[in-house]
A and B are shown apart, each in its own frame.
Chain A
Amino acid sequence: MDYAYTLIILLLPLVTFLGLGLLSKRLPVALAGIIGTANLFIIAALSCATAFTYFTQEAGEAGFEAIEAYKITWLPLTDKLIIHLGILLDPLSVMMLVVITLVSAMVHLYSIGYMKGEKGYTRYFAFLSLFTFSMLGLVVATNIFQMYIFWELVGVSSYLLIGFYYQKPSAVAASKKAFIVTRFADLGFLVGILILSFNTGTFEFQTLTSLQGPVIGQASTAAFMGLSVTTWALLLIFMGGAGKSAMFPLHIWLPDAMEGPTPVSALIHAATMVVAGVYLVARLFPAYALSAPDALTVIMYVGSFTSLFAAVIACTQLDIKRVLAFSTLSQIGYMMVALGVSGYGGEAGLGYMASLFHLFTHAFFKALLFLGAGSVIHAVHSNLMTEMGGLRKSMPVTHLTFLVACLTIAGIPPLSGFFSKDEILVAAFEHNKLIFAVQWLVAGITAFYMFRLYFRIFWNQTPAYHHAPHESPVVMTVPLMFLAIASVVAGFVPFHDLVTSDNKPFETAFHWSIAGPSIAIAVIGILTAAWLYARPSLRPDAISKSLSGVYTAAYNKFYIDEIYLFITKSIIFQFISRPVAWFDRHIVDGTMNFIGNSTVAGSAAIKRMQSGHVQLYIWYFASGVLVLALLILYLN
């Protein structure tokens, strides 16, 4: 099968970006949305076709084969290290293609309605296309350097879209924060790439993850501070992934990133870009599993802690987009845990499969939640749940689809979230009981905060709205319905036959012993939320008062932002930059000026000797002769 046409999937969004960007003033405004959306529908169709042909092909002995559909040399760096740009098709990247293009197409369609009448409508669609291009380039990368290139491009598209409302200071600050925090993480990624490529002599994923090759074995001999060089390299690479995927403690940019338009949050900060870190680890998974199990353990703990930490914060937030943002952190934590507990090959690779399964289902239901939240925000012109309530009647489609999404994320069977989360819990249970317990608890908290959100928006007390809220236009509700259907059916995709750690299908069993308790805790979470929030009551306040210390800390996101602020403002700005600037002006430059000034002063001091008075010259002459004469006498 020839997959060369996949190049179109990659290039079409780029062409759209350049076209919309350069012609932004000449095009009729409405056309931008139509062009952008049409182009996304084309590539979504192409991606689905690719996935269909790829997964229906005869899988050989070695499972699904990785195919390099396209490859050019971009820049040779050394004899061995050459940056190629190409398209790699394997189960992982094909799955990602489908997820990205489908969600992106829905978000584009939705945006036509949501962004209508906004200034910078064309710019918005241009940036969305840039993002789609970069994200697709990232997932089809044939080598780690190509991934890094697109990784940075994804970062900048995220920056541009978070700061879309560029006249709003909070949006500017948020975009800057997102870029700099992820850039810092990317420093780790870069150094990791440098170490890994130096030790293995290649950037290519195929070689880095090959099992037979001498590559990994060789590299892991040298050690530094008790860990092998490979472990260090992979940990540093994970640092990059943790930055993009907003793992603790690099998570601080994601809640602020909600300053961007809501469809952007759905696409970038829920469904696609933030799972890039998961994708990165999954892409290098054989290397992690076989030569750096210590790194996987780190990933497991980081993921687990983040999922708990974020879930607790999500229970206290009032801005509905922030609740969803923390929920995203928590769910990505799940995916990381799954990777961390996974082994390589066959059934040992259950965690790997579960992680990507969850990535897949999460993309749909989280995009749905964000788009639903956008629909609500569009109707009531506020982000705060305190200003919402009772919307179930005025916004029926939004209400129903949102309910589906909430049930899905809470893990109620037979919705997709249940299946993927269940697989993660099974994998965790087999690997580490403590982690299992944490993830089980987080499942309950998840159900609680999601239904807290649901009840506060759609039930509870109806406040006095300025305009009576009404349902969103069809271009916005159609994507909601599509994603709701996807959230329901995505769980039935036989992932264990398609996307596995060694690309070979394996059998999974269903465990009631694990599914039972997880359903139970989800139901408890939902009921608690209903008890507290379905009707107006004083119970929530009473509870938050009785837990005042914890509640305040969680509400303030455990003060992590303040710690960062201290580091940047007080240490980097005041303690390093300011002294450097002062040192440069006063010490380094002062020395130069001192040399200059002392030359001037010196010449000023001696210029009187050339006064033009002949008497003085004679006097100098005579004393000179005298001194010399005395000197000669003395020396002799």
Chain B
Amino acid sequence: MKSILLTTVAVAIIGGGILYGERLAKDKPRDDGRVVITYWEKWSAFEKEAMEAVVNEFNDSQEKIFVKFVSVAGISNKITLATAGGVPPDVAGLFGGNLAQYAYHESVMPLDELAAESGISPDDYIPVYYDMCTYRGKLWALPSTPASTALHFNKAILREVGWDPENPPKTIEELDKLDKLAAIKNGDKMERMGFLPTEPGWWPFAWGPLFGGQLWNGYDKLTLTDPDVIRGYEWFGSYAEKYGSGTVQSFKEGLGTFNSPQNAFMDGRVATVMQGVWMANFIEMNNKDLEWAAAPFPTPADRPDLVNPTIIDLDILVIPRGAKHPKEAFEFIKFVQSQKGMELLCMGQKKNSPLKKVSKEFIENHPNPYVQLFTDLAYSPNVIVPPKTPIWPQLSQEIRTATEKINGGTDPKEALQDVQNKMQPLLDDIVKYEKARGVLTEEEIAKAKAGGKP
């Protein structure tokens, strides 16, 4: 009797567990009959809140669609798995640099038709941002928030070392000079540097292009050992060489995380830093009293043609393949693309707008006093954009490893040759496949040969 009772209880608990688990996995329909679309986004904190405000605005304006906003960490892997598993969200917010990979595998939907129907035109956007949403002639995404970068400098340190704080370095040579002046070395330890190429170290691919080198020809050949690329990495490596690679590494490791008062730039341990449009906001949060300004990043003195370089970052919205409500999903994306939606979002995230048309209030009320500079830089002919190729996730990691090797004393040419040798065959496979599928057309190749830049 007792054992029957026990068995019954056990079966009941397990059954309950199964049923409850199943219920959790189901989407709950809404009482008002609106179509619920799921939107996965990578952001956290205030960036997430800014997008939530846009989502709320959209939901309030709607009677047919309801957007369920979900914040997801490690979104790149997650979205691949969910798409492969047949349970993708309806909209996903991804990193623009990875778009080529999604487009190549067609794991996101082409948006050309939906965009045309909605009257969204390439002419609405700053060219570089729209271009980042395309791959092999098709549109696969639309921007959420864009960014560009500039040199941020600590005016107090410049003044302290006798540098005119209104006149930051314009050439790489001047930057090196400023670094020499501002650096403080105490025995084996660095206490301050004028500039540190690995702080924050988010764009290891940018140093070659900064010196005019191209990482590839735009369609089938990597050119990582191009003399200009190597020159960029020689300069990058010169900082570890100058002070000793171990010393610089220890210094770097002692620096606090980006979003904290211990951030190297915020607490005055580096005098200048390459940072994005978001930096002003973090300075405001973590060290209000910092006396700082922003200017275009310096260029080599012998390359005046490269002035106003800027690294372009873009967050994008996509509709994963297999999404249950693509039409409704695009309704929401369209709302984000409107000037109103976009300015609400970009203002909330303290970034510039990817749209050409910007309201006066946006610039005037923007919390970043240099928002105009960042907007202008996005129009620069010398924008630095990650190569639009499906091998980018791996290539960027390989380049990062190469920069670690260069910092450890390896010859830049050798380190880059390794990457070239490893990655070129992978690109070859992709080009072969794309040509066979007719995706890589003569028109595309001609465009790449013409410079590839928008």
A and B pair up: no
Binding site for B on A (CB under 8 A): none
Binding site for A on B (CB under 8 A): none
